[in-house]
């Protein structure tokens, strides 16, 4: 089946986050201390626990927790009740911290997205978390990516995470194609590559931010960087 649409991952495919998210965490710590009266050390430990539980839940359930869940976890860890109004204010601060200290656009990504959109309908398929889809969508808008995408599927909004089929099904329907007509591009073997191939899509492993899976992957294509993608787009796809 010919490729009739292309989907892109967000993290470490279009945007890189090489540094530890210390600055984002500090925003959340400061807000927690103000609302709960907790010490910075206690707030820090509670946040680290929430991050660990987010990852464990993602792996176990293949679903994504969101900022309000992080608030519930830190409230439990601190032993301090947080009322609904404060909880929602904290959730907004937690979720928008990434906008104050955003990830960095991977070189050539915007040109690749623009070129792909000239040939195919394109979409985002990406997992989210404490930094929710709402904030990631804003980052795409700020950096000029958003107008090129016909759809954006973020795990916190869909209700499941990659490699669940629903993530790919929703994007394919929005683009007007079958999943077996998709090419999905991402950096992770377990979620991007295997998830795409499980629904009959073709999968491209992006190595432009890290090459952890270079020698151990099931991808149909290897993309070294976005310049390489443009070459493939003009000759192979």
pLDDT tens string 113-172:
999 999 999 999 999 989 999 999 999 999 999 999 999 999 999 999 999 999 999 999
Among 17-31, 76-90, 194-208, the least confident range: 17-31
CB 70 within 8 A of CB 87: no
- When the pLDDT of each residue in the chain is averaged and rounded to a whole number, the result is 96
| pLDDT: which is higher, 17 or 183 | 183
pLDDT over 70 at 20, yes or no: no
% residues pLDDT > 90 (the chain): 93
Q: Predicted confidence band at 62 (pLDDT cuts at 50, 70, 90)? A: very high
Q: Predicted confidence band at 236 (pLDDT cuts at 50, 70, 90)? A: confident
Q: Predicted confidence band at 19 (pLDDT cuts at 50, 70, 90)? A: low
**Mean predicted confidence (pLDDT) in 105-114:** 98
Give 123's strand partners.
Answer: 7, 151
% residues pLDDT > 70 (the chain): 99
- Whole-number pLDDT of residue 21: 78
CATH of domain 5-17+104-235: 3.40.50.1000
- CA pair distance 116, 106, nearest whole angstrom: 16
Report the predicted TM-score, pTM, of the whole model to 2 decimal places. Answer: 0.94
CB 132 within 8 A of CB 154: yes
Segment holding 27, helix H or strand E = helix 22-36
Q: How many CB atoms sit inside 10 A of residue 181's CB? A: 18
E-assigned strand segments in the chain = 5-8, 15-16, 104-105, 122-126, 151-154, 182-186, 202-206, 221-223
Domain ranges of the chain: 5-17+104-235, 22-100
């Amino acid at each position: 089946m010919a490729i009739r649409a292309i989907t892109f991952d967000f993290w470490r495919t279009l945007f890189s986050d090489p540094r530890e998210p210390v600055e984002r965490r500090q925003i959340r710590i400061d807000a927690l201390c103000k609302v709960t009266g907790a010490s910075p050390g206690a707030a820090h430990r509670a946040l680290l626990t929430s991050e660990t539980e987010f990852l464990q839940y993602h792996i176990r359930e293949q679903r994504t927790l969101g900022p309000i869940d992080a608030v519930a976890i830190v409230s439990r860890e601190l032993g301090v009740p947080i009322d609904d109004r404060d909880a929602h204010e904290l959730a907004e601060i937690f979720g928008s911290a990434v906008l104050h200290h955003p990830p960095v656009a991977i070189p050539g990504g915007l040109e690749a997205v623009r070129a792909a959109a000239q040939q195919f309908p394109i979409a985002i398929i990406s997992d989210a978390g404490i930094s929710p889809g709402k904030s990631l969508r804003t980052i795409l808008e700020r950096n000029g990516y958003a107008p090129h995408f016909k759809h954006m599927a973020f795990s916190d909004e869909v209700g499941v995470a990659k490699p669940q089929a629903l993530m790919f099904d929703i994007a394919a329907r929005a683009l007007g194609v079958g999943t077996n007509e998709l090419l999905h591009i991402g950096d992770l073997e377990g979620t991007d590559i295997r998830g795409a191939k499980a629904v009959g899509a073709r999968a491209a492993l992006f190595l432009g931010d890290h090459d952890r899976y270079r020698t151990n992957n099931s991808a149909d294509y290897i993309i070294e960087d976005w310049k390489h993608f443009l070459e493939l787009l003009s000759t192979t796809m």
